[in-house]
Structure formats: structure tokens, C-alpha cells
Structure 1
């Protein structure tokens, strides 16, 4: 426990909290969007696909600024959330979770979409002919087959959320104990004399978490491929 200072532990704990909530909240929508992109043909499909992947190609600062324009205290959506639910996102850890979830969303959708496309549609059609509803078919046939892909997508989204910096610092700033996540803490330590040691310790933690997530995601992706291939 002496490896990190209390301030460093706070940043790690906040990052884990933000990343967990970002993943939990984004995952259901990612599954729905991935299923639509994998199974449906409609006008505007490529536009939807482009919007989903936009956070991957936009500068993160741009994404953070757009979030500020949309969810800021005086912004249209932000003002409505505050007046209706008392929810404040800008300059709060909840906003950090929103920013991290948006940045990790494309990775989730891509992993889950590939898993869905690997499932033979005939299996779903066979269940439908037996009278099962679309929701029941998805829950009992599709979801079990794509579960490793869903888990892999969630892990990738979680890892991306842990490393998110640009959108987060633009939307919620870098407030120690409130919005200062791992990347923000590393940046802050590098700006003060003598902070290199603290920054290095947090870098080690970040690398270990990222590598662990990537390895686990790769293992689950291979298991998903074998499972679908043997179906």
C-alpha cells in the first residue's frame, strides 16, 4: 500500500470508479447499436456507423468541447438535466464517466458487432419459427453465443475509459479528489518540480491495467471465434 501516496491512490480509485460506470452505462446501448448495424439494412446505416466511430477519429479535445456545449450547466441538455433531475455533469466525476463512456463506445460496438456477425442467422431464424419473440431469440440464442465478444468489448471499453484524457480534462477539468483521473494526475505531476516519481508510479499502474485488459480481451475474442466456429 506504500507504493502509492494517498493522492495517487485517490486518482487510481476515481479512475476505476469512472471507468466502471462508463462501461456499465455504455454497454447496453453498445449491444443494441451493434445488433442494429450487424442485422439490419436501412437508409442512413453508414451515417450511424460513422457517428458511432466518430470519437475514434475526432481529436479528444473536440469531443470534450462538444460535451461541454451540450451538457454544460447552462447548455440545453445540461440545464434540463439539472432542472429536472438535479444532475450536474460538467466538472463532476459523473461527467468524466460520460466522456469516458463515449470515447470507449466505438470499441465496444465494434467488438460486439463482429461477434454478432459471426453468429449464423439460421440459428436465430430456427428459434423464430418455433414461435419465440425477437427479444427471446436474442436473449436465449444470440446473447449466449456472443457473450465472449460482449465481455471483450466491455474490457476494451473499460481500458479506453481508464486511459481517457483529452475529452475528460476538457469537459470536467482536473480537480484533485473530484475529477482527477489517472491520466490527469500523471499530467499534473509532470507539471510540478519533483513530480516525476509520482508520475512514473502512475504510468506503471496504467501500463499494467492496459496490458492486462488487452490480453484478457484477446483471449476472450479467440474463445468467441472458436465457439461460433464450432456452432
Structure 2
């Protein structure tokens, strides 16, 4: 059996004296597509931030590739990424946003990689590369944010309500691009969404959360 990419054991998260997350055990395996379902306030976003190594849990153990860690070391930073509902873009061009992570990692052939990533999310590189962040619609901005993550070929892509409030075209393209990353690069996906129909069609398993705890896995 392969070692899970990310493992949680007896993880608890407490905010202002109130326990908001209680996960006894959760493994994210290679090539997984995991759906996270539950009402607002059920702990989905809190769980995603812990899985992304952005927030350390109040207690419990968190492992990456079998090694215990409570922070986000460089090895994790380069292989696990989170796409939130409200995209954050640098106040730069589309090309600069998508290229940023590649430049930090001193990658070569950046322009070609940026163009390919934009194509994956349904944006024409010739039309969009030189556009600035303020010239984008909400759906276009979310697709640029996703391209900036896919271009790095992460091992795990975490998505928090990635298609909420988007037009139908952008939502479809984001879903297709995420699934393509899994098919082409072996990227594991963890998606929090209220779209249970879509989660049911693509997920290997759906984890249902209530009051910060797993109440069902289907």
C-alpha cells in the first residue's frame, strides 16, 4: 500500500475556546478525488486550510508523505496548493500572475508553460496574457488563479467552493481543468462544494461534515 500524501490523526482545531474541527483520521491518497460536503460552518474551509498546511491544528498529527509536520516546509509548499472561492491575484498582468511561481522556482521555458496553463483553463493566451487583474471578470480571475496553481503541477489541489457565484461557462472550465490535472499529472483533488450532483459524479468518496466532524463517507 502506498503512503498517503497527507494524513491527519486525532486533529482538533479550537478558535476562541470553541472546538470547530474534530477529525480522528483522514488520508489523502495518490490520484484521489475527495468531495467535502456539509452546510456552512461545518468545518470544510477549516479542514482545507489544515490540509494545505496554512493553519496548524490545535492538537493532533499532520503528515506529508509519511513525515510528521505542523508547518508548511518548502517541500510541501511546492506540492500542495489551495484555490479559494474569492481569487487573490497580484496587481500585475495575467502572464505575471501565472508565471510568478515558476520564476520563484527558477523554471525554464516560462512563457510556453504559462500559455499552456491558460489554455487548460479556457483562456486564449494571445488575448489574456497582457491583461491586468482589474480587467478580468470574476470567472476569468478565478480561472487565472487556477492556472497559476496548475502550472506548478501540484501533487494535491485543494479547492474551496471554486465555482460558487461563477457563470456556467467558467464553472464548467474550472471543473474540467481540475479533472484534467488529475488525469495528466496524477494530482489528487479535494473539493469542497455545495454542488452534490457534481461531487457525486467525479469523487472517489464524499466526506460529509457537520459541526466539524465527519458524520458520513459515501
The normalised TM-score by structure 1 is 0.26
Q: Greater helix percent: which structure?
A: 1
Larger Rg: 1
Higher strand share: 2
